[in-house]
Amino acid sequence: MIKLNKHSETALENIIVLIFIFVLAVIIINKYNVYVKASKKTEYVQEIHELNLALISYRIKYKKFPKNLSVLIRKGYIKNIKTDKNGYPVSPFNKRFGYVRKYGRVVK
């Protein structure tokens, strides 16, 4: 025999509702993580482009490429990219950007 509580709901109905809410929460969290990762990738590509433009500007002014990317930060060529404790620009994934001085390019 199924016992009813004072609101005429069974324990089984409550469990089904909780499972449904849990499944929806998992789906929503997964979609959110996908969007966050996609936005970080977009930001990463945009920051590489910005760094490469700054390298071109630096080369035009000084006739050579900088020793490293932290020079661009110190000289004010880049202002809105996050840096690590040593002053090197870091990607949205918290890793330093790769830099090939010979070619004056930031690499992925």
What pLDDT digit, counting tens, does each position of 57-68 carry?
Answer: 999 999 999 999
User: Residue 108: pLDDT band by 50, 70, 90 thresholds?
Assistant: confident
Determine the pLDDT at residue 79: 87
Quick check: 104 and 65 in contact, CB under 8 A? yes
User: Residue 5: pLDDT band by 50, 70, 90 thresholds?
Assistant: low
